[in-house]
Structure 1
Amino acid sequence: MKFSVLGPAGTFADAAAKAYLKTQPLTNVTFDYHPTFDQVYQAVSGDNIGLLPLENQLDGYVSATLQRLQTADVTEIGEVTIPVDFGLVANVADLQQIKRLYVQFKTEGQCQKLLSTIPNVQIITTSSNMISLEKFQSGQPGDAAIIPQSQMADLSVPLMMDNVADQDDNSTRFIVFKSRRAHLDRLAQQTLVTDQFKAPLFVTPAFNDHPGTLYDILGYFAASQLNLVALMSLPTKTQLGVYSFYLEVSGTRDQQADLFKTLERMAANYQVHPLGYYAV
């Protein structure tokens, strides 16, 4: 089995994938590293699996992942949350001498306090924390990078700062998925291995928007006593002002029948795009 993740080895995605495997009875797994979200998504086929970041504690949901899930034929089979911590390395003696700073696009939003202390630096956004490290190592005096704390032990540079995220207790949640469209009837037949479940999905109004649309959608879950743990709106990109709602529903094993009855009723009035149903 191939397990496709954001690479190279050493990223938080790599650590999350290894943490997920410790909880699963999977053998003969080969890691398949890719530099971009799209390449990870495209690499997953058949019985292989992939992993992408979904939500960071400090910087919120990862829009690049949500935008792919919105139209993707995938089934989420699980999730894993890991702590993330960052350090700063620089080829200078102090912060004010930094000219260029390499930082991954999502990491930037988690280190705003640090960045506010060096407002004149040129920020160069990367697609991976490990690419930030590689760019820094092949750079020149005046370069700096925000990288995973775990990578700092092997470096020897003039300026090193530990734990530069805005909070010490920072974490990121990742989803694990297969390249297979999720169908309500197939998901309803799954048996949970724990008592708690999570069911992510997109709901899109099938007709023109009107006052109370979101109220009506939320009413389905309230009537069934199903708990919503996430609610986001994303443009459908079909025309300006038309949105889909990303939802995550949580519940217990004895609410499984209620969940799928509720989603079937919703499907009569809305476009319901289920993404999975898994134990948490």
Structure 2
Amino acid sequence: MKLSVLGPEGTFADAAAKAYLKTQPYTNVIFDYHPTFDQVYQAVTGENIGLLPLENQLDGYVSATLQRLQIADVTEIGEMTIPVNFGLVANADSLTHIKRLYVQFKTEGQCQKLLSRMPGIQIITTSSNMISLEKFLRGEKGDAAIIPQSQMADQSAPFMLENVADQDDNSTRFIIFKAKPAKLDDLSRLTLTTNHFKAPLFIRPSSNDKPGTLYDILGYFAKADLNLITLMSLPTKTQLGEYSFYIEVSGTRDQQEVIFATLRDMASKYNVHLLGFYAD
């Protein structure tokens, strides 16, 4: 089986994938590394699986993943949360001598306190923490990079700072998915391995201009006594001002029948795009 993740090897996605495999019975797994979100998604076919970051504790949800999930025919089969932290390496004598900084786009949002101490530097955004490190190693005097803390011991840069995230207890949540549509009838027959489930989905109203639309949507879940742990709106990108709602429902094993009955009822009025149903 092939497991596609954001690479190269050594990224937090790589660490999350390896942590996930320790909880699963898979054997003979081949790691398949890609530099972009779209390439990871496109690489997942057949019975192979993929892993993408969904949410960071400090910087929130990963828009690149949510925008893909909004239109993707995938089934989420699980998730993995791992601790993340960062260090700074620099080919300089001090912070004030740094001229250019390489930093991954989500990492930047998690290290704002450090960046506030470095006004005026050139920030170059990368798609991967390991790419930030690679660019730094090929760089010149005055270059710096924010990299995973786990990579710090292997570096010998003149100037280094450890634990530069805005807070120490930082973590990132990743989703694991297969390349097949998440169908209500199929998922409703699954047997949970724990007492709790999670069901992520998108709901797209036929019209966002009608007063009370969100109130009506939330009413379905309230009536069924189903707990929402995530609620956010995303632009559909098909028309300016048109949005869909990303929702994560949490419940217990005895609510399995209730959640699917609720979603079927909602599907008669709204576009319900279920993404998965798995033990949490």
In the TM superposition, what are the counterparts of 1:252-267 in structure 2 within 5 Å? 252-267=252-267
Query: Residue 263 of structure 2: SS of its match in structure 1?
Result: helix
Give structure 1 stretches of 5+ with no counterpart: none
Partners of 1:7 and 1:208 lie apart in 2 by: 38
Letter aligned with residue 47 of structure 1: E
Matches within 5 A, 1:167-178: 167-178=167-178
Cα shift at 1:143: 0.1
Q: Secondary structure at the match of 2:145?
A: strand
Q: Which residue of 1 aligns with 2:124?
A: 124
Say whether the 8 Å CA contact 2:101–2:124 is kept in structure 1: yes
Q: Read off the aligned partner of 2:12 and give its amino acid letter.
A: F
2:151 counterpart of 1:151: yes
Distance (whole Å) between structure 2 residues aligned to residue 22 and residue 76 of structure 1: 18
Which residue identity is paired with 2:19?
A
For residues 204-242 of structure 1, what are the alpha-carbon distances to aligned partners after superposition, in whole Å with 9 as ceiling and x for unaligned? 002353111001000000000000000110011111111
Mapped to 2, the partners of 1:278 and 1:267 lie a distance apart of 20
Which residue matches 1:12? 12
Residue-by-residue CA offset, 1:90-111 (whole Å, 9 max, x unaligned): 0000001000000000000000
- Is 1:271 equivalent to 2:253 in the alignment? no
Partner-residue secondary structure (3-state), 2:175 = strand
In 1: Cα distance, 2:237 partner to 2:225 partner: 32
C-alpha distance after superposition, 1:47-78 (max 9, x if no partner): 00000000000000000000000000000000
> What is the match of residue 243 of structure 1?
243
Query: What is the TM-score of this pair, normalised by structure 1?
Result: 0.99
TM-score by length of 2: 0.99
Partners of 2:169 and 2:186 lie apart in 1 by: 38
Q: Indicate if the aligned counterparts of 2:87 and 2:146 stay in contact, CA closer than 8 A.
A: yes
Question: What whole-Å deviation, never above 9, does each CA across 1:96-150 have from its counterpart, x for those lacking one?
Answer: 1000000000000000000000011100000000000000000000000000001
Secondary structure at the counterpart of residue 101 of structure 1:
strand
Q: Secondary structure at the match of 1:78?
A: strand
1:79 aligned residue = 79
Alignment of 1:84-163 (within 5 A): 84-163=84-163
Residues 102 and 124 of structure 2 are in contact (CA less than 8 Å); yes or no, is this contact kept in structure 1? yes
One-letter code of the match for 1:65? Answer: T
In structure 1, C-alpha distance between the alignment counterparts of 2:226 and 2:208, rounded to whole Å: 26
Task: State the AA in 2 paired with 1:76.
Answer: E
Q: Name 2:210's counterpart in structure 1.
A: 210
Paired residues of 2:101 and 2:145 also in contact (CA < 8 A): yes
Q: Please, what is the CA RMSD of the aligned residues?
A: 0.6
What's 1:44 paired with?
Answer: 44
Counterpart-to-counterpart distance in 2, 1:227 and 1:187? 19
**Structure 2: tracts of 5 or more residues without a match:** none
Q: What residue is the counterpart of 1:30 in the other structure?
A: 30
1:173-197 Cα distance to aligned partner (Å, 9 max, x none): 0000000011111110111000100
Aligned-pair identity in percent equals 77
Secondary structure at the counterpart of residue 109 of structure 1: helix
Runs of 4+ in 1 over 6 A off after TM superposition: none
Count of aligned positions? 280
